[in-house]
Amino acid sequence: MNFTLPPQYREAGVGELCDRIRAVRKATGKKLCILTHHYQRPEVVVFGDFVGDSFELARQAASQKGVEVTVFCGVHFMAEAADIVKTGRQRVFMPHPLAGCPMADMADMEDVNRAWKYLESLKLADRTVPVSYMNSTAALKAFTGARGGLICTSANAVKAFRYGFENKEKIFFFPDENLGANSGRKLGLRPDEIALWDFRLDRGGLTRAQIEKARLLLWKGHCHVHTNFKPGHIERIRAQYPDVKVIVHPECLPEVVDLADGDGSTRYIVDYCAKAPAGTTIAIGTEINLVKRMALAYPDKTVVPLSGEKTPICFNMYRINLNNLAYCLENYESMPPVTVEDSVRKDALTALEKMLTLD
Ligand code: SF4
């Protein structure tokens, strides 16, 4: 699938694009809701009715009375989540239809079904609860709901695991091995109780004994943005700023989380920056756009990217810009909305609603 903007949008200047976006905004009023994820470019965030993390945004749009069109400046699984929880006649559009999440795509349903069937053949599936990260496809969310499992965010993964272990002996967590490992470790699981299911290998690359022993099976998926942070970055930043507070996202490698002063969701990171006393130096290990926004929002604090100038960006989030936002707002009637089939929505919603009982 290709997506090429017509020249009048590709070639328009910033001023013209902003005017066009404002004009649509004014003309559509409350019928339109623009959602911008924390990792969006600053010039896009300016136009968001809400800025936040994926599920927070989806729920915001669903709770707004009179909204008919939601434009989600984020990646595909986020728009799907908005479509799953939407109310009434809302339709969800993405400014760039090819903005996906490589980590969510690492859990292909054929591979997931094969893994689960293997657990069934070992008579272990009944003793296992699937838990899926919000950063997953609607199909995986539905798979999870249909098997009595639940969804989690980076903010409530530990709670979700606790719930899982209260109900079943084992958890199979998809698709982020690092959030899974960090959450399992917070619950005191030993390394030999955690096993990594490599979907590229026959039977996950695990022996029957390893699978039987594991309390936590982790799908071998990762976020290329967050796994870029390494222990060396923390050593360097501490040498440069001896009083620095290092805060990272739990999609980072466990060895990075171990060395940090704190780890948590984007909400945690935003709150940490807001509450830190003036004069604090904070090095953040997450997507650069959020770090830059925190630095601008808190000029009385020193907020720096953990890996210095080499901080990786999420290229998919970065696909969204003023050009395709303006195009989407003016042309959504001729664009395909992001839709989740009713059969998938039903089971996905079951898994999401189970998550909401955690709070
Ligand atoms: S930052 Fe990572 S997890 Fe988030 S959308 Fe980008 S690739 Fe996916």
Phi/psi of residue 155, each to 5°? -80, -30
Contacts of 225 (CB under 8 A, 6+ apart): 251, 286, 287, 312, 313, 314
Whether the CB-CB separation of 149 and 174 falls below 8 Å is answered with no
Distance 102 CA to ligand 1 centre (A): 7
pLDDT at 277 over 70: yes
The answer to whether the Cα torsion of 86, 87, 93, 97 is positive or negative is positive
| Homologous superfamily (CATH) for 7-100+317-339 | NadA-like (3.40.50.10800)
Atom 3, ligand 1: which residue's CA is nearest? 223
Q: Residue 192: its pLDDT value, please?
A: 93
> In the structure, which protein residues have their CB atom closer than 6 angstroms to any atom of ligand 1?
39, 75, 101-103, 135, 223-225, 287, 314, 316-317
Whether the CB-CB separation of 215 and 180 falls below 8 Å is answered with no
Distance 61 CA to ligand 1 centre (A): 21
- Same CATH topology for 7-100+317-339 and 226-313: the answer is yes
Distance 243 CA to ligand 1 centre (A): 30
Q: Could you identify the atom of ligand 1 that is nearest to the CA of residue 176?
A: 3
Q: Could you identify the atom of ligand 1 that is nearest to the CA of residue 39?
A: 1
Cα angle: 176, vertex 79, 87; to 5 degrees: 125
Whether the CB-CB separation of 246 and 261 falls below 8 Å is answered with yes
Tens digits of residue pLDDT in 209-218:
999 999 999 9
Entry pTM: 0.95
Distance 135 CA to ligand 1 centre (A): 8
pLDDT at 309 over 80: no
Whether the CB-CB separation of 178 and 256 falls below 8 Å is answered with no
Token output for 296:
């601008």
Distance 128 CA to ligand 1 centre (A): 27
Whether the CB-CB separation of 175 and 132 falls below 8 Å is answered with yes
Whether the CB-CB separation of 3 and 96 falls below 8 Å is answered with yes
Sequence-ordered strand ranges (E) for the chain: 32-37, 50-52, 69-73, 91-93, 128-133, 150-152, 170-174, 194-197, 216-219, 245-248, 262-263, 281-285, 302-305
pLDDT at 89 over 90: no
Domain boundaries, the chain: 7-100+317-339, 107-221, 226-313
pLDDT at 336 over 80: yes
pLDDT, mean over the chain: 96
**Length of the chain in residues, anyone?**
359
Q: Which fold has domain 107-221?
A: Rossmann fold (3.40.50)
Select 226-313's CATH number: 3.40.50.620, 3.90.1490.10, 3.40.50.1860, 3.40.50.10800.
3.40.50.10800
Atom 2, ligand 1: which residue's CA is nearest? 223
